Amino acid sequence: MAKSNNSPQCAACSEIINERFLLKAIDKLWHEDCLKCSCCDCRLGEVGSSLYTKANLILCRRDYL
């Protein structure tokens, strides 16, 4: 797929985000399925999920605490 300069690109997989919704964390854009904890790899893109940042890492509550 050709990349367009105006299309948002996922920070994790580098693919274009074509979905209606995208997520923004640490000033980067993510697919819902690509936003995961840097330590345990659990998904953080689900509604109601909290995420935390430390040293520019994205973490779930358990790994942050």
Structure confidence at residue 59 as a pLDDT band (50, 70, 90): very high
Q: What is the pTM of this model?
A: 0.80
List of residues 6+ apart from 18 with CB closer than 8 A? 7
Nearest to 42 by CA among 27, 63, 21: 63
- Residue 4 pLDDT: 53
Q: For residue range 39-55, what is the model confidence (pLDDT) as tens digits? A: 999 999 877 788 999 99
Q: Is 63 helix (H, G, I), strand (E, B) or coil?
A: helix
Q: Is 35 helix (H, G, I), strand (E, B) or coil?
A: coil
Q: Where exactly are the structural domains of the chain?
A: 8-64
Structure confidence at residue 5 as a pLDDT band (50, 70, 90): low
Tokens standing for 12?
Answer: 């994790």
What CATH class does 8-64 carry?
A: mainly beta
- Mean pLDDT of the region 36-41: 95
